[in-house]
Structure 1
């Protein structure tokens, strides 16, 4: 076990080092619209502090964004209505469409050197948790699972995480939330504060990408359905704490929408991005051809396996993940837009949760489960 842990640890460290080396040579001027829009939000926070939540185009009085548009040869840089990633609001404002979280994180670093430190920080979090899972593994199967998944998770921090500045911090949050979920479910007496913290993290992820709100769906189902059956006060308190945590976590986005769109529940996205669900075979085929299908298959396969063979808290973790996968995959598979990272957050949250649930399981539990399953397959013993 020790030599296997060392081997997996060295593999993960090598991938992490390669990521950091590659990121250190990245440029912040790669000509992508999303990039300069996130950097504009960061610039507003650095200039105005909390008032940077107001992304009205008139706030570009120092011509920062105009300069960024000129750098990428955007021909209509003078007209805010034509600015990429910006949409007109009913009150006459032209505002950024993205929630403020990614810009806030970028604002923590000095202008001109913001993207690389953000990605390195996210990589260190993911790498640290991958090494922790390897170190905590108590059985060979859980060690192999943690080692292989840890290497995969670190590798994904380059591609597809580089496709959008919002993906890397989302993946780091999913890793932390996966660990805390496994810890929460591993305890006989579940902590209200811990589930509130999980809710806070998942709510905070909404500040990075609005669809991250769906990451909380499985938790609401896991807590809500048993409450409807039992009317248990303990389950109600757990659900209330989780919901409150989600609400507090996403408060910056609600505030930004109130400022920019006129209501906390109004979106700053344009009509092209807010569309009714509809199944599109072409979009579905794109997922089949993309790397995301590998993550989907891994998440579904691991969930089904642990629902069948898992013990105690491992099976409960699989129930949370199953609900989350159903809701999230149903949404994205019927969302008539495809990107190479849409289902990455839900698959990574699912796999982190299951990976940590397995390594936190007592070493004797998998063997006991195997014996019971084998005995059950033989049928009742003759008397």
Structure 2
């Protein structure tokens, strides 16, 4: 086991080292509209501090964004109404559509050298958790599973995470939240602090991508059902703690929407970006041909397997993940727009949660599962 753990650990570190070398060579001027807009948000934070939450095009009086537009030969660089990633608001302001989190993280690094450090930092977090999973494995099958998944998770920080700067921090948050989800549910006593921390992380992920709000859906469903079944103060406290923490985590986005759109609940996205659900076979076909399909199959498969053979607290993790998958896949697969990373966050959150659930399961549960019995000595429900 020690040799196998060392081997898988070295594989993950080798992939990380290769990623770091590749990321260090990335250009921050690849001509992608999203990239330039995230960098503009970072520039505003560096120049204005918290005032950078205001993304009004009129604040580009130093010509930063116009210069970026000229670099990619954007024909209408002088007209803010035509700027990519920006939308006119009823107040007359032209503001950036994205939430502020990605730009804030980029602003932590020196201008001109922001993207690579962000990706490297996120990759270090993902690799650290992958190595933790390998170290925690107690059987050869669990070690092989943890090692293969860890290597895949580290590799994904290059592709498809490079598709959008918002994906890298989202991947890191999903890894940490998956670890904490398993820790929360496999403990004999459920901690309000842990579920609040999970809520804070998931709420914070909304600051990178608004659809990340759906990542909290499975937890909300689980906590609501648990309270309705038990009607205890503890169940109520956990649900309240989670909801409050989610709101605190996404507070920067709510504040940014109030500043830019006039209300915390008003969107800065244009009408072209807000589309009604509609199943489109062409879009579904694109997902089937994409790497995301593999991740979907792995997430659904690991969840179904835990629901079938999992015992006690492990099954509780599977129930949370199952609810999350249903809500998120239902939304994205009915969203008539395809991108190579839409389903990656929910798939990775699901896989991290189920992977750590198996690794953290209490010893008596693991022994009962191997003998085909239900656990009797744990203070957690087994169904």
In the alignment, what sits opposite 2:75? 75
In the alignment, what sits opposite 1:358? 358
Output the CA distance in 2 between the equivalents of 1:263 and 1:298: 40
Superposed displacement of residue 208, structure 1:
0.1
Answer yes or no: is 1:41 the counterpart of 2:44. Answer: no
Answer yes or no: is 1:9 the counterpart of 2:4. Answer: no
In the alignment, what sits opposite 1:381? none
In the alignment, what sits opposite 2:109? 109
Output the CA distance in 2 between the equivalents of 1:236 and 1:329: 28
The correspondence of residues 245-284 of structure 1 with structure 2, limited to 5 A, is 245-284=245-284
Matched-pair contact (CA < 8 Å) for 1:99–1:256: yes
The alignment's TM-score, normalised by the length of structure 1, stands at: 0.96
In the alignment, what sits opposite 2:349? 349
CA change 1:373–1:186 in 2 (3 A) is: closer
In the alignment, what sits opposite 2:381? none
Superposed displacement of residue 371, structure 1:
2.2
Aligned length: 374
Output the CA distance in 1 between the equivalents of 2:14 and 2:367: 33
Q: Please, what is the CA RMSD of the aligned residues?
A: 1.1
Matched-pair contact (CA < 8 Å) for 1:134–1:146: yes
Gaps of 5+ in 2: 375-383
Output the CA distance in 2 between the equivalents of 1:35 and 1:197: 30
The correspondence of residues 72-151 of structure 1 with structure 2, limited to 5 A, is 72-151=72-151
Secondary structure (helix, strand or coil) at the match of 1:113 reads: coil
In the alignment, what sits opposite 1:235? 235
The correspondence of residues 169-318 of structure 1 with structure 2, limited to 5 A, is 169-318=169-318
CA change 1:145–1:364 in 2 (3 A) is: farther
Secondary structure (helix, strand or coil) at the match of 1:87 reads: strand
Superposed displacement of residue 282, structure 1:
1.0
Gaps of 5+ in 1: 375-383
Superposed displacement of residue 270, structure 1:
0.6
Superposed displacement of residue 366, structure 1:
3.5
**Cα deviation digits, residues 88-138 of structure 1 (max 9, x gap):** 001100000000000000000000000000000000000011001100111
In the alignment, what sits opposite 2:377? none
Matched-pair contact (CA < 8 Å) for 1:38–1:102: yes
Superposed displacement of residue 373, structure 1:
6.6
Superposed displacement of residue 367, structure 1:
4.6
The correspondence of residues 24-63 of structure 1 with structure 2, limited to 5 A, is 24-63=24-63
Output the CA distance in 2 between the equivalents of 1:356 and 1:229: 26
Superposed displacement of residue 321, structure 1:
0.3
Output the CA distance in 2 between the equivalents of 1:203 and 1:254: 11
Secondary structure (helix, strand or coil) at the match of 1:372 reads: coil
Output the CA distance in 2 between the equivalents of 1:334 and 1:72: 33
CA change 1:186–1:102 in 2 (3 A) is: same
Matched-pair contact (CA < 8 Å) for 1:139–1:363: no
In the alignment, what sits opposite 2:378? none
Matched-pair contact (CA < 8 Å) for 1:329–1:343: yes
Secondary structure (helix, strand or coil) at the match of 2:271 reads: coil
Matched-pair contact (CA < 8 Å) for 2:171–2:345: yes
Output the CA distance in 1 between the equivalents of 2:189 and 2:284: 42
Output the CA distance in 1 between the equivalents of 2:192 and 2:228: 19
In the alignment, what sits opposite 2:379? none
Matched-pair contact (CA < 8 Å) for 1:44–1:52: yes
**Cα deviation digits, residues 172-225 of structure 1 (max 9, x gap):** 000000111111111111111111111000000000000000000000011101
Please list every run of at least 4 consecutive aligned residues from structure 1 whose deviation after the TM superposition is greater than 6 angstroms.
none
In the alignment, what sits opposite 1:380? none
